[in-house]
Amino acid sequence: MPEQEPTPLSSAPASTASIHTPTEDEERPQPVQSADDEPSRNAQVFGWQRYAHVVAALILVVVSAYGIRQFMAGDAVAVAELWKSKITILPFVFLFAMIDLSLETVGWAWILSRLGLKTRDLTGVSVCIAGKAGLLLPAQLGRLIRPDLMVRLGRGTLGENLKAEGAVFVLDAVSVVALFAGLVAWRFHPALGPAATTIVILVALFLGNRIANILSGTRLEFPRAFWWSWQTFVIVLVEAAGWAAHGVAFYVLTSDLPGKMTLWDALFLAPGSAVIGLASGLPGGLGLTEGLLGASLGFSGVPQAHHALGVAMFRLITFWLLLPIGWLALMWAGRQVRKRNRRIKAEGAVVADTTPAPVGGLQQ
């Protein structure tokens, strides 16, 4: 597919500024609306989120209680001994979880770099991983951590970073849909899997390119060469490989359990559970993702006595361990922000000290 290097969002030609004279209506003071007249915008838009953690906690408690009940109803000693013997494979599960995180970071950095935002350094990597510190925020509000850090690091405006984060979200969604399409097509014939994945990606990028043309000249404008590009195609494949690594981690953990868990089942069910959990708007998909993972094990014929430990181990490695990793990255990125602020302050002081004083009260 033809491609030209996309123009950075910040390099769009600026229009000639004109002097605006306020009219009589604009100069007239506008009435101030009282807080009692209308709820605040935050209360209107995000009011439901105050209950999101409570709902997620309740669902998690119910799912956990059911899993523990099934564990105790079975041969708890034998189940515990089996999982004790599986401790040696946990590092491999963690390895695939880190591959998933690494591929997500590559995709994120590549997208922002193509949009003219600096990400290909250690600070950029830390910004991407710092987003994991917000996994427990509802409605994926943790995604706002990365644009905020980028702005504070002087890497683009807030508008540029929010649009870039939107592109990351869209391409990530395309990647998981492409993975599911390939898996479904593979069930009919193995050769159809790659073809279906390719077709889904190409159709999505074509539509993205058409929408970009429609939005040209608006605040949502993207460089036209961004969507219909071989680089964007590869980025989606990288993101899809990250979702596949998530499924492989689930397969490594559960493949030798009693039942009929296959690699296809793990590749489809584990990412599917995560996607539905995140789409629900619950913090980290808590409760719903665990319930769907347990249902996935039951669908694959794994005895219910193993569901609680299996889901708990998988979520511990692929979700809960990412939180401290995200917080460490957030602390490191925050340190870079403070260093930048000190450097700017010092440079400003130097400029002030070296500026010659006006002679005779007049500046030449």
Q: What is the pLDDT along the chain (364 residues), one digit of tens a residue?
A: 555 455 454 444 444 444 444 454 444 444 444 444 444 444 444 455 667 888 888 998 999 999 999 888 888 899 999 999 999 999 999 999 999 999 999 999 999 999 999 999 999 999 999 999 999 988 788 899 999 999 999 999 999 999 999 999 999 999 999 999 999 999 999 999 999 999 999 999 999 999 988 988 888 888 878 999 999 999 999 999 999 999 999 999 999 999 889 999 999 999 999 999 989 888 999 999 999 999 999 999 999 999 999 999 999 999 999 999 999 999 999 999 999 999 999 887 766 666 554 444 434 3
pTM score? 0.82
Nearest to 296 by CA among 329, 335, 257: 257
Determine the Cα–Cα distance for residues 165 and 146; give it in Å rounded to an integer. 8
Whether 128 contacts 335, CB under 8 Å? no
Residue ranges per structural domain of the chain: 54-342
Q: In the block, which residue shows the tokens 């990255």?
A: 329
Look up residue 223 and give its two tokens: 């460089």
Q: Do residues 96 and 243 make contact, with C-beta atoms less than 8 angstroms apart?
A: no
